[in-house]
Amino acid sequence: MYSPIHSIHSLFDQLGLDSSEQAINSFVRQHGSLPANVKLHQADFWNTAQKTFLQQMIDENADWAEIVDELDAKLR
């Protein structure tokens, strides 16, 4: 079975966020219920660099795209 290259923890590190399990769960609880019409990178809780990174990873279908999609699903 294929394993993603990156983990949710490494994505949070890349975004400059606390990547502990507790912090990730807290982030998802705090920012969950993202409306369906708002793309992940358009959410108002990201800074400019985070928005740019998230958008580029999806647009380029980069090796981060799968884990970005996972985060998107967690926030819906």
Whether the CB-CB separation of 54 and 68 falls below 8 Å is answered with: yes
Please state, in angstroms and rounded to a whole number, the distance separating the CA atoms of residues 51 and 35. Answer: 16
In a domain, 1, yes or no: no
Mean pLDDT of the chain: 93
- 53 located within any domain: yes
Q: Does residue 3 belong to any structural domain of this protein?
A: no
pLDDT confidence of residue 4: 59
In tens, the pLDDT along 55-74 reads 999 998 888 999 999 999 99
Under DSSP, the state recorded for 39 is: -
Give the count of domains, the chain: 1
In single-letter form, the type of residue at position 28 comes to V
For 3-29, how does the pLDDT look when each residue is reduced to its tens digit (9 = 90+)? 558 899 999 999 999 999 999 999 999
Spatial distance between the Cα atoms of 67 and 8, rounded to a whole number of angstroms? 6
* Cα separation, 16 vs 3, whole angstroms: 23
The confidence score (pLDDT) of residue 1 equals 46
CATH code of residue 27: 1.10.10.1130
pTM (predicted TM-score): 0.88
**Angle between the N-to-C axes of helices 65-74 and 48-59, in degrees from 0 to 180, rounded to the nearest 10:** 120
